[in-house]
Amino acid sequence: MEVITSRSNCMSRKVCCIIVKEDVQVVAIGYNGTRKDDNNCIEGNCEYYNTPHESGKGCSCVHAEENALKIAERKQIGCNLYCTT
């Protein structure tokens, strides 16, 4: 999971999530990062790090769990979700 975690483009926290069926088949893998059409944080486009924290802006990255669930779709039943945090 640590290798997958390293794929995250979030500057704040690197997280991995894996969804596995009961028969140990990997259904989906996700990691936290910017949305598909947004600029990557690691390329200097992180609003959270580039603005004063008093501005109230939070991290714009999507959670690893959300990314994995989008990939798995709702039809997956009987799965376990494993996350690095």
Alpha helices in 1-85 (DSSP H): 2-5, 47-50, 64-72
* Structural contact between residues 7 and 40, judged by C-beta atoms closer than 8 angstroms: no
**65 belongs to the catalytic site:** yes
| Catalytic residue selected from 2, 65, 66, 73 | 65
Amino acid identity of 62?
A: V
**Which of the residues are catalytic?**
65
